[in-house]
């Protein structure tokens, strides 16, 4: 959803339209996340000026599944979609060591979306392959 402001029916429809357009333009976009056949949130890849961004939004009761879902999505992104690198943006209120560092993402500067600043992290296909080989990020 938009990063700030109120969500109107129009702004929500624009957001959905923009996300859906990612599939036509880049061959990837958002997915619904289902756990035990129940909607848990959404995740996916989005083209940004500085690379392919991965985002994950889960219902609070599903936050404990974030690493598992991220591993599966990264595996699909690198293996099936042929991505060379993936970036993520974390707000400064989030602790990057919980999942980001464990998965092998490395700091990659700062980025701004919708007027908000985020820490950016990057992972390459090679780093992902090495992590899988080492057994730390198997999907």
User: How is residue 51 written in tokens?
Assistant: 């690379």
- Minimum mean pLDDT range among 19-23, 100-104, 127-131: 100-104
CA 35-131-133 angle, 5° bins: 105
Phi, psi of 128 (to 5 degrees): -65, -45
Question: Does any domain span residue 4?
Answer: no
Residue 71 sits in which domain range? 28-134
The predicted-structure confidence for 54-102, as pLDDT tens digits, reads as follows 999 999 999 899 989 999 999 999 999 999 999 999 988 888 777 787 8
**pTM for this entry:** 0.84
Give CA–CA dist 50/86, Å, rounded.
10
Give CA–CA dist 12/21, Å, rounded.
14
Give CA–CA dist 36/117, Å, rounded.
35
Give CA–CA dist 19/53, Å, rounded.
12
User: How is residue 81 written in tokens?
Assistant: 């979609």
Report the pLDDT averaged over residues 105-126.
92
Query: How many domains would you assign to the chain?
Result: 1
Question: Does any domain span residue 77?
Answer: yes
For residue 94, what is the domain's CATH number? 3.40.630.30
Question: Does any domain span residue 64?
Answer: yes
> Taking the CA of residue 52 as centre, how many other CA atoms within 13 Å lie in the half-sphere pointing to its CB?
24
Question: Does any domain span residue 1?
Answer: no
């Amino acid at each position: 959803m938009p990063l700030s402001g109120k969500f109107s029916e129009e702004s929500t429809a624009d957001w959905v339209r923009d996300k859906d357009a990612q599939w036509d333009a880049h061959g990837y976009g958002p997915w619904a996340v289902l756990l035990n056949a129940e909607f848990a949130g959404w995740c996916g890849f989005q083209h940004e000026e500085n690379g392919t961004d991965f985002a994950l939004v889960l219902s609070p009761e599903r936050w404990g599944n974030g690493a598992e879902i991220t591993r599966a999505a990264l595996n699909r992104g690198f293996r099936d979609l042929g991505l060379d690198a993936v970036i993520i943006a974390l707000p400064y209120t989030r602790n990057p060591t919980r999942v980001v560092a464990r998965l092998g993402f490395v700091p990659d500067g700062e980025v701004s979306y919708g007027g908000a600043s985020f820490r950016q992290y990057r992972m390459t296909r090679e780093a992902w392959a090495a992590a899988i080989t080492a057994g730390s990020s198997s999907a």
